[in-house]
Amino acid sequence: MRKLLYLFFSMAIVAALTTYAMWAADRPAGHYLSDLRIKLAVDQGTPADRGNLLGIQPELFPTDYQSPERLHRKLAAYLQQAQDQGLLNEKTVVVLPEHVGTWLMISGEKDELYQAPTLVEAMNWLAASNPLLFARAWLTAKGENRLDDAHLRMKSKAMAKDYQTLFGGLAKEFHVTLVAGSIVLPEPSIRDGQLKPGSGALFNSSVVFGRDGVPLGQPQRQMHPIFEQRDVINSEDEHAINVIETPAGRLGVLIGSDSWYPDNYRRLDEQGAQLVAVPAFVVGHDAWNQPWAGYKGSSTPGSVSLKPGEISEGQAWHRLTLTAQPPSSRAIAGMSVFLRGQFWDKPGSGQSFLSSNGQQFADGEARGARLLNIWL
């Protein structure tokens, strides 16, 4: 009798594991409808032969990331509309928002993940449907928050490959220089022309792709992640800010809150940066209009007198982002581009803006995809 019970339970366990493995391997493609329209919200300057800085503020949702092909379709539609309006040329520098590449972590997943009501539940589905990848990532996770680290780390090789294929492909397809927002990867680097993840700490990084689709220089790592991210994302304090030669001029990239630090603009000036791109992301419903929370765990620079709560989050971004505000920055133009959309219960609420000659230009509308252009 004991042997019979043992056999019964063994068979039940095998059946359960087999069913789970079949369920985890099944990736049915759900229905996909997405708004491909984008509005030209800001267009400053006069077309000339010096090129232009073009920001794309997309409106994205989890279902846009079901496959790299779906995301390509949407971003290519935005670029095609920009091209139809005469905004793309051989000297155009296109800027995409922060974390536009990070969400590649949810590519190729089950419908339950995309339909989850909260980010926490979606990440639970991510781990449940990739048990071996998650277990391996958990064992190698760094930092204080091993769970979130494992979620970001578990598909890093596929994410890096998809990021380069997608954004390098868009740069080559439309013959533009492309600041590909940012992506969170473990110790990313460019080796033999390819973006490769390492095995160490996670960094929020941006890659610039040339008109031939090839990365220009090394990834720019974020130096000052905000407080809420510091238990997962490492801060970069060893490498210098990258300044890259583009057809439109020398370009520097400051990711998110890195644009709040006056010393970063001084370092860009020392390298002759003429253009500054700021991929950014503000999370939370109407967070743009809520009181600014300060430097969120980082020490406030001595030259900054702004106090938390004095102004709104949006006003703080306009005050602290010093592009084209002499003598704070000698760049001729700058662009801050935010990711919009609804990622489960974490909506993006930033509003993109550009600056030149000491003036800033923005579009006040909160919803929908936007193009912001400045002729150099």
Q: Return all residues near 3 (Cβ < 8 A) that are at least 6 apart.
A: none
Say how far apart CA 12 and CA 250 lie, in whole Å. 64
| Domains in the chain with CATH codes | 1-30+108-154 (no CATH), 35-107+156-375 (3.60.110.10)
Residue 360 pairs in a beta bridge with: 355
The position carrying tokens 């792709």 is 209
Mean pLDDT of the chain: 88
> Nearest Cα to 217, choosing from 248, 186, 180, 184?
180
DSSP letter (8 states) at residue 363: -
Band (pLDDT 50/70/90 cuts) for residue 1 is low
71-85 per-position pLDDT tens digit: 999 999 999 999 999
Q: What's the rounded mean pLDDT across residues 47-57?
A: 95
Radius of gyration of the chain (CA): 22
pLDDT, residue 256, reads: 93
pLDDT, residue 366, reads: 65
Side chain identity, residue 325: Q
Q: What are phi and psi of 67, to 5 degrees?
A: -155, 155
* Three-class SS state of 276: strand
Here the tokens at position 87 are: 């905004």
Burial code (b: 16+ CB inside 10 Å, e: under 16) for 203-238 equals bbbbbbbbbebebbebbbbbbbbbeebbebbbbbee
pLDDT, residue 27, reads: 52
pLDDT, residue 306, reads: 87
Say how far apart CA 354 and CA 360 lie, in whole Å. 6
179-238 per-position pLDDT tens digit: 999 999 999 999 999 999 999 899 999 999 999 999 999 999 998 887 555 567 877 666
> Nearest Cα to 317, choosing from 343, 349, 346?
349
